[in-house]
Amino acid sequence: MKFNSNANRRSFIKTASVGTLATLSLSLPQIVKAAVAESGTKKISLEKNDIILFQGDSITDWGRDHNKFAPNDTGTLGTGYVLLTTGQLLIKYPELNLQIHNRGISGNKVYQLAERWDIDALSIKPTVLSIHIGVNDFWHTLTNGYTGTIDNYIADYHALIDRTKKALPNVKLVICEPFAVKAVRAVDDKWYPTFDLFRKAAKDIANEYDAAFVPYQTAFDKALELAPGSYWTLDGVHPSIAGEALMAKTWMASVG
């Protein structure tokens, strides 16, 4: 999943409807509240001096400078949902001295997270680790010749978390649901029902490890009641500005 976000962002800004944005401002909290309540999973509490690390693929990466590593820095965080979530965290918890990092890399699948885990995760020593991974583990079987299966995804994910818990036994985990919006460019009938297995696996893993779970698919599904899929995503996978805001609010509601 390699993606150039800048041109698509400009296109989205030009075509977004002011009227629709007004409706969004009134309805987004209700969407998020309903999605999180429906997921029925636990939340975690944030504490003073927490180190929060966001990991994943292009949706997390989204324009970050791979040569910058300082926490709470725009270059480090990118221009997507991680930046929006960080802004909300820093406004809500100024007394906690949170240190927030982003190490997402476009195109990654779970096994590729594992290949760089020592440097891009364990060495940072996060106290809160948010992982959003899975869409490429399926999508690339359709487009890139990847031969991994749902069983590979589950096994690789378990191995990654077991390794993390061994190195960082007190880390608080946040497992984010992979999502897709059907009938928007890249996402069609060929995705289903197989892709739903990856979503279910992520939730099952969150439950197994007593992690917080961020129900992104439910949030996007409910958001379709307000505006079409092309409003929330650029291609069915990568979020628009509105989709990023939805992701940030859903993450916040799922965590603290």
To the nearest 10°, the Cα dihedral for 245, 201, 66, 68? 70
Arithmetic mean of pLDDT, 37-59: 94
Q: Which amino acid is at 73?
A: D
What percentage of the chain carries pLDDT values higher than 70?
90
Which SS3 state, helix, strand or coil, does residue 239 take? strand
Q: Are 57 and 136 in contact (CB under 8 A)?
A: yes
Q: Which is catalytic among the residues 50, 57, 61, 235?
A: 235
- Which positions ≥6 away from 221 have C-beta within 8 Å? none
pLDDT at residue 22 greater than cutoff 90: no
Summarize pLDDT for 170-204 with one digit per residue, the tens: 999 999 999 999 999 999 999 999 999 999 999 99
pLDDT at residue 10 greater than cutoff 70: no
Active site annotation includes 238: yes
Domain residue extents for the chain: 5-255
Specify the range with the lowest mean pLDDT, choosing from 39-48, 150-159, 200-209.
39-48
Q: Is residue 27 very low, low, confident or very high in pLDDT (cuts 50, 70, 90)?
A: confident
Q: Which is catalytic among the residues 50, 238, 240, 254?
A: 238
Arithmetic mean of pLDDT, 7-16: 46
Q: Phi/psi zone of residue 124: left (φ > 0), alpha (ψ -120 to 50 degrees), beta?
A: alpha
Strand order in the sheet with 128-132: 99-102, 51-56, 128-132, 172-176, 212-214
Nearest to 171 by CA among 128, 119, 121, 214: 128
Q: Note the CATH number of domain 5-255.
A: 3.40.50.1110
Nearest to 186 by CA among 244, 239, 108, 243: 239
pLDDT at 256: 73
Q: Are 97 and 49 in contact (CB under 8 A)?
A: yes
pLDDT at residue 31 greater than cutoff 50: yes
Q: What are phi and psi of 127, to 5 degrees?
A: -95, -20
Arithmetic mean of pLDDT, 137-160: 97
pLDDT at residue 13 greater than cutoff 80: no
Active site annotation includes 58: yes
Q: What is the mean pLDDT of the chain?
A: 91
Summarize pLDDT for 57-85 with one digit per residue, the tens: 999 999 999 999 999 999 999 999 999 99
Helices (H), the chain: 5-15, 18-39, 58-61, 74-77, 81-92, 110-115, 117-120, 135-143, 150-167, 194-208, 216-223, 229-232, 241-255
Nearest to 132 by CA among 244, 222, 38: 244
Count Cβ atoms below 10 Å from residue 15 Cβ, excluding itself. Answer: 10
Nearest to 238 by CA among 61, 29, 73, 119: 61
d(CA 106, CA 119): 17
Summarize pLDDT for 82-133 with one digit per residue, the tens: 999 999 999 999 999 999 999 999 999 999 999 999 999 999 999 999 999 9
Q: Are 235 and 185 in contact (CB under 8 A)?
A: yes
pTM summary value: 0.90
Q: Which is catalytic among the residues 58, 106, 130, 240?
A: 58
